[in-house]
Structure 1
């Protein structure tokens, strides 16, 4: 929703959500406002961000919300609890567009998401080298084998990280993101090409 120009109007946001739901009644709908600090298009006050997510939950139009980890622990936990009380799942996320943290830090963030009640923990990081891509994949594997109690989604962005989008399942990432027309993050692959490679690896 961060591409939506009338984001200040909760009613306009919900009207747009209704239009999307009506157009795709059988497709799970993930409500996402990506903040500018994590790669999104706009900056809004934290309280409006939280209110938008609560309004989406209340609307009954969405199946999941995306909640950024570093919004504040108390607010995040309260929103998770509110979502679950309304049978809405939570994808908790963190996006680092500047670097790839050490594997230990990546695992720590994913574990914190779980501790705060995330149904799906997601992290995307920016590689500065091929070794950074290996760091992300190593952290993903460690998370899956030692700590995960639910699905985890991880990816290394940009051209260097494309392999993590293609082969993430091998290391424990539960999903990836493809581009229909225009990529929303560096390194996203056209959805038809992505599907072909994923099916080859999944069925191998």
Structure 2
């Protein structure tokens, strides 16, 4: 069975929460609290700032194993920040040995390895990286300057130097002295990312002055943002709630759209999501039939496809720009006896307002694609021509585009003409081949959680002991 593919055409920077503490008990306590936090499902990963420990009592493998048990399947980043780059650990042989021990435990997904621009420790870095790859892990090559921000050109050179170590991800964090420094780092990051689209980039300006860089990843090319749950590991980090609210206000997209060829299951899946999320489902074809006072197949015969497409665009624009009030959803989500805390209700602010299920040909007009891109988080339900034919054989009379064309060759031709257009306006591609509607719903819900588009109160209530 195919898996969902998140394209990240745009969207929020993935949130990573650093955990710090003086002791292993501090780390484990905060990890348990984080796992119970209502925004925990939205996190991409958790960073373990191991250099913050003042006293190490547990064996490293046991400690990381307990953290993994608590944090579940979240990406785990093991970090030892050195004295030269804002941390508490020496940059020597023991630094690389400890990072290798962490990876040998089998629990971290990523190891953050610092780079010194003077080339110190390069061979030790490369040897450590090679071993981490052999063990199935990945590395982040990072550099931090807590004193200044280099020039725009120098920032590009630093990113290239980091990339020369061959890691999956490069990270550059600098302290600005003036507002122009923030812009220069973001521009340098964007320029570098455009030349190296295959590499993952994390870049940020630190401190209060640099906060804007932590939410504008779509401009700088930065993939992730470090946010605080309990205490900041670096100056300028947003709190999780603050970051989520700010991103939702900036994002502007307030709807979830399901697109795909006829028979892909848009309506069925839309109905299930509507019930699950207490959101209204807008079926565009049904709205059009109400407006026409006739079936779409009849409208096609009487007025032709071109006129139908104009009306479809008009209604799409009307639906996407009309006001959708949140109060009804809030009342349904939080009845009088709701166990959810009062302060958690604010997490609903700015989230998705409706589920849209348009016809299969909605992507044919450029105006429609632009509307979907501007107003919706769009999921493309992908299905093979053969599966489409099997689903549609009994309802050809209600599919005007397929009149006298209900055969595999014709369906393949139409789908091929539309494929690039579906892909162009989709934020995620979900293969529905061979899957139940329940499986598809779970994959869509996972995408919505990761994108921060919907708050699920049931995730506040853990069903197992942590």
- TM-score computed with the length of structure 2 as normaliser: 0.41
Structure 1: distance between partners of 2:83 and 2:168: 24
CA pair 63-135 structure 1, distance change in 2 beyond 3 A: same
* Structure 2 equivalent of residue 17 of structure 1: 64
Deviating more after overlay: 127-136 vs 16-25: 16-25
Higher relative contact order (CA 8 A, sep 6+): 2
Structure 1: distance between partners of 2:241 and 2:70: 21
* Structure 2 equivalent of residue 137 of structure 1: 186
Deviating more after overlay: 163-172 vs 121-130: 163-172
* Secondary structure, counterpart of 2:112 in structure 1: strand
* Structure 2 equivalent of residue 168 of structure 1: 217
Whether the 8 Å CA contact 1:67–1:93 is kept in 2: the answer is yes
* Secondary structure, counterpart of 1:29 in structure 2: strand
Structure 1: distance between partners of 2:133 and 2:232: 30
**Structure 1 residue 32 and structure 2 residue 79: aligned?**
yes
Alignment of structure 1 residues 58-69 onto 2, 5 Å: 58-69=104-115
Structure 2: distance between partners of 1:27 and 1:87: 16
Point out the structure with max Rg over C-alpha: 2
**Structure 1 residue 53 and structure 2 residue 102: aligned?**
no
Alignment of structure 1 residues 122-133 onto 2, 5 Å: 122-133=171-182
Whether the 8 Å CA contact 1:111–1:147 is kept in 2: the answer is no
Whether the 8 Å CA contact 2:115–2:162 is kept in 1: the answer is yes
Structure 2: distance between partners of 1:49 and 1:141: 31
Would you say how many aligned residue pairs link Structure 1 and Structure 2? 201
Whether the 8 Å CA contact 1:6–1:13 is kept in 2: the answer is no
Structure 2: distance between partners of 1:45 and 1:28: 25
Whether the 8 Å CA contact 1:6–1:12 is kept in 2: the answer is no
Root mean square deviation of aligned Cα: 1.7
Structure 1: distance between partners of 2:66 and 2:54: 16
- TM-score computed with the length of structure 1 as normaliser: 0.92
Structure 1: distance between partners of 2:91 and 2:216: 37
CA pair 77-199 structure 1, distance change in 2 beyond 3 A: farther
Whether the 8 Å CA contact 1:90–1:119 is kept in 2: the answer is yes
CA pair 114-45 structure 1, distance change in 2 beyond 3 A: closer
Task: Give ranges in structure 2 of 5+ residues lacking alignment.
Answer: 1-49, 254-373, 375-466
Structure 1: distance between partners of 2:218 and 2:133: 27
* Structure 2 equivalent of residue 43 of structure 1: 89
TM-superposition CA deviations, 1:136-167 (whole Å, max 9, x none):
11111111112343110000000110000111
* Secondary structure, counterpart of 2:113 in structure 1: strand
* Secondary structure, counterpart of 1:176 in structure 2: strand
Task: Give ranges in structure 1 of 5+ residues lacking alignment.
Answer: none
Whether the 8 Å CA contact 2:82–2:91 is kept in 1: the answer is no
**Structure 1 residue 198 and structure 2 residue 247: aligned?**
yes
